[in-house]
């Protein structure tokens, strides 16, 4: 009989799917790595289980412990599934800009969710970073994975996602594109792929209101670049340790509106019911492809999560109209 002992064993080995309609007029082959095939419906399952297992090996996470993390939703889902398998409790802090669906999903899988204000600085005691750290200090036998600075995040993709893409493309991938939030996905995967092909280009997709693009281009952390944006899961107002700027060749910024509309196109035209940052990734990656790719190039784009996380937002016509994204 073929079966898994727990759903977490089904993480990884997600499919590559060729994009056909949204890529019209673009040279080369554009492939999407569809990460919602993971059991928690996102790419974050990969690093969530790795952070837990590495913490267990290091003796940081002990039986009966509580996992406390600041999350935009998807890492929390991956951690919650791992916690179920291993018998831990979960408390997640989330900024209030995140979708209600994400909060409800985390509660459905047994986690406690603490909602914090979005429009505060990272070191403000009310921020989701600060609240998670404080809970970790206050609750005995608790573990704060800190996905931003925990290098197990990058390692999960260096050892998993990167080799998968190399094998699936038969070593023909020439461009790798992904949104940048914690940095683990793009830097772990990109590092592995560049070791196989030093000429491969790694393109990071950023959002307006985030510091990454200017920091890469100037080395300046410009607080004037930081402002509130709506897209969930990419961009930052901090510099996570998992972001290795030497791995990323170029950043492209994508607006909230362009990202939302591209996500809807992927759903309607490609049959890929994806989340908001998937729209960011594809929109920005295709902008690069139009300018730089040839017939012989093969681009792989990470599609991080599933559209069910955004039913009340980008897949709701009234919400889209209220944001000025639809006429």
Reduce the DSSP state of residue 321 to 3 states and report it. helix
The H or E element that residue 94 is part of is strand 89-95
Residue whose tokens read 């409800």: 104
Element (H, E) at 318: helix 317-322
In angstroms, the CA 318 to CA 312 distance is 9
- Residue 51 makes CB contacts below 8 A (sequence gap 6+) with 79, 145, 147, 150, 152, 153, 156
DSSP, collapsed to helix, strand or coil, labels residue 207 as: strand
* Eight-class DSSP state of 298: E
Per DSSP, 315 falls in state T
Give the Å distances, CA to CA, from 107 to 35, 69, 81, 304. Answer: 22, 14, 12, 21
Check if 44 is active-site. yes
- Provide CB contacts within 8 A for 62, sequence distance 6+: 141
The sheet with strand 89-95 has its strands ordered as 112-116, 89-95, 66-70, 142-143
**Residue 294: CB atoms within 10 Å:** 9
**CA distances to 75, 130, 151 from 36, in Å:** 13, 29, 23
Residues 43, 72 contacting (CB under 8 angstroms): no
Q: 102 CB contacts (<8 Å, ≥6 apart)?
A: 72, 73, 74, 76, 77, 94, 232, 309
Q: Which of 18, 33, 44, 97 is catalytic?
A: 44
Please give the positions annotated as active site: 44
């Amino acid at each position: 009989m073929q079966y898994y002992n727990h759903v977490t064993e089904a993480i990884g080995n997600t499919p590559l799917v060729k994009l056909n309609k949204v890529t019209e007029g673009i040279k080369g082959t554009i492939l999407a790595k569809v990460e919602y095939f993971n059991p928690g419906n996102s790419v974050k399952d990969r690093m969530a289980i790795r952070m837990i297992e590495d913490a267990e090996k290091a003796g940081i996470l002990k039986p009966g412990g509580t996992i406390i993390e600041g999350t935009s939703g998807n890492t929390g889902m991956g951690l919650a599934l791992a916690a179920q398998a291993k018998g831990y409790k979960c408390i997640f802090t989330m900024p209030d800009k995140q979708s209600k669906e994400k909060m409800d999903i985390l509660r459905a899988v047994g986690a406690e969710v603490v909602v914090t204000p979005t429009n505060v600085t990272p070191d403000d005691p009310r921020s989701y970073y600060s609240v998670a750290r404080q809970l970790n200090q206050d609750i005995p036998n608790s573990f704060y994975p800190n996905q931003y600075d925990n290098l197990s995040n990058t390692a999960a993709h260096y050892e998993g996602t990167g080799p998968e893409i190399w094998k699936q493309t038969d070593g023909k991938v020439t461009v790798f594109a992904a949104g940048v939030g914690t940095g683990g996905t793009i830097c772990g995967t990109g590092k592995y792929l560049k070791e196989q092909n030093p000429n491969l280009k790694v393109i990071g997709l950023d959002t307006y209101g985030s510091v990454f693009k200017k920091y890469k281009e100037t080395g300046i952390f410009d607080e004037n670049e930081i402002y509130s944006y709506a897209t969930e899961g990419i961009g930052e107002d901090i510099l996570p340790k998992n972001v290795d700027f030497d791995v990323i060749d170029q950043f492209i910024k994508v607006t909230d509106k362009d990202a939302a509309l591209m996500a809807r196109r992927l759903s309607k035209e490609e049959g890929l019911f994806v989340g908001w940052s998937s729209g960011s990734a594809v929109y920005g990656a295709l902008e690069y492809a139009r300018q730089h790719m040839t017939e012989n190039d093969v681009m792989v784009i990470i599609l991080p999560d599933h559209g069910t996380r955004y039913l009340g937002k980008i897949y709701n016509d009234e919400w889209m109209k209220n944001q000025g994204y639809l006429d």
